[in-house]
Amino acid sequence: MALRTLPRSPRTGSELLHRALATASGAAGGTFGLAALPVELPVSTVIMLRSIADIAQNEGEDLSDPEAAPSCVEVFALGGRAGSADASESGYFAVRGMLAKTVTEAARFVAERGVIKEGAPILLKFVTQVAARSGLVVTQKVAAQALPVVGALGGAAVNYAFIEHFQEVVRGHFTVRRLERLYGKDKIRTEYDQIAQQL
């Protein structure tokens, strides 16, 4: 849904629009507490995925490539580690390496059989890996929206913080992917490791 509603040409100002939409959906969901979570969480997730895909497109990613959609979802795993703001400590390449085979297999599965095909074990494996990395984030969101009165402000604040965080992560992730296309994966990995050591 996120990819289908995204214009094919990059636009400016869409990051602010996505932040506003995510904040509004968090406030609306938080107003009604846990009862609204089954509706609000998917809406917020689609808004965040749409923002991720939009930034990826702005960084030169071809969204029609079967590996593009899983790479967008991968951002939730890359940005899901709690307690570390330091990119060099986040295990960026370690997480990418862990997900790489599954992303490739999932993209191949979607290209050959489509997303709706019954019995998509590789897609389930990919979603499970991403969920394992980002599960704490969702748990924190549920806690912030548990009380309806505080939930509206909490839901809005949490969604704003999440989308702002994931927009930064996606910008870095797809910048690295763009540089890898230009200069090769090995050279970018070497440069990344040198920068990480200096930090």
Could you report the per-residue pLDDT of 89-105, keeping only the tens digit for each? 446 666 556 555 665 56
CB 34 within 8 A of CB 146: yes
> What local confidence, expressed as pLDDT, does residue 82 receive?
47
Question: Average pLDDT of the chain?
Answer: 75
Q: Which secondary-structure segment (H or E) carries 1?
A: none
Q: Is the pLDDT of residue 123 over 90?
A: no
| Position 4 in a domain | no
Cα-Cα end-to-end distance for the chain: 39
Q: How confident is the model at residue 45 (pLDDT cuts 50, 70, 90)?
A: confident
Q: CA-CA distance, 1 to 17, in Å (whole number)?
A: 17
Q: Is residue 3 part of a domain?
A: no
Structural domain boundaries, residue 96? 14-198
- pTM of the predicted model over 0.85: no
In a domain, 104, yes or no: yes
The pLDDT value given to residue 146: 52
Q: Higher confidence at residue 180 or residue 114?
A: 180
pLDDT over 70, % of the chain: 62
Amino acid (one-letter) located at 93: F
Number of domains in the chain: 1
What's the mean pLDDT in 12-33?
A: 86
2 domain residue, yes or no: no
Which pair of tokens denotes residue 1?
A: 């849904």
Q: How far apart are CA 58 and CA 168, in angstroms?
A: 13
The upper half-sphere exposure of residue 17, i.e. CA atoms within 13 Å in the direction of its Cβ, equals: 10
Query: How buried is 51 (Cβ within 10 angstroms: 0-12 exposed, 13-18 middle, 19+ buried)?
Result: buried
More confident residue, 48 or 105: 48
